[in-house]
Amino acid sequence: MRKLIVLLFTFSMIFAEENLIKPTMPNDEFLRILSEYFKTNGIESEIIKLKNISLLKVTPPEKLGNMWLVFSLQPMTVFEKRAYGFVQINMMTGRRMHRYKKHFITMNEHNLKNSEGCFFMNEFDRIEGNLLIVVPPEGIKPDIILQGKNYLQDGWVKLSKMLGVDP
């Protein structure tokens, strides 16, 4: 009997939905879970407010240039009567570029041929990147967001090479 209890306890620990990111959870709760996850992985982060939305800000290693990333959770769509959300990873680079046609063409080419995020120039002539991670109704573990962050950073390294600039 004791063995059965131990076994069931082990099963419940393995399949516990602890720290899962769910599509309908409040953004603030998502930021708290992600911030704790980053902390356990040695990544410093801070919660900031931008246009009335709370975001989690992370500054990646210096080799990627003057740049920071923000994370937020938003609703996406309802499919088969179940709500889906997405985590948006937004990369704000310090790279200011002229609004030359050739730069837009290079970004278009990158977005066409690569899957590591979507890049564009914002209203301050700075290059931004975006990556979406779908959050299904059953939720996702935070490690997928860390993976997405690294994937988007790879995209920025690739694009800066195409533009012929240092990140």
Partner 1 sequence: MCLKLIVAVLLISLGFTLLNAEKLLPGDDNETIINKLKANADTLKIVTEIAKQEDNSVLQMGFKSNEPGEIYKAVLVFSSLQIPSQNEKKYSIVLIYLFTNIEISKDKSKVIDLINQFHNDYWSGTFSIDEKNRVKGKITVLIPPEGISPNSAFAASMFLMQGWEILFQNLKPYI
- Residue from 65, 68, 111, 165 touching partner 1 (CB under 8 A): that is 111
In whole angstroms, what is the distance from residue 149 CA to residue 116 CA?
A: 10
The one-character DSSP state at 71 is: E
Range list of β-strands (E), the chain: 45-50, 53-58, 67-79, 82-96, 118-121, 126-135
Q: Draw the binding track, 56-85, toward partner 1 (x: CB under 8 A; -: no contact).
A: --------------------xx-xx-x-x-
Rounded to a whole number of angstroms, the minimum distance from the CB of residue 117 to partner 1 is 8
- Residue from 88, 97, 158, 165 touching partner 1 (CB under 8 A): that is 88
Residue 132's DSSP bridge partners are: 88
Interaction residues for partner 1, span 119-158 (CB under 8 A): 119-123, 128, 130-134, 136, 138, 140-141, 143-144, 147-148, 150-151, 154
Nearest to 86 by CA among 97, 75, 95: 75
> What are 123's two structure tokens?
């209203």
CA within 13 Å, CB half, 77: 3
Footprint of partner 1 on this chain (CB under 8 A)? 1, 3-4, 7, 11, 76-77, 79-80, 82, 84, 86, 88, 101, 104-105, 107-109, 111-112, 115, 117-123, 128, 130-134, 136, 138, 140-141, 143-144, 147-148, 150-151, 154
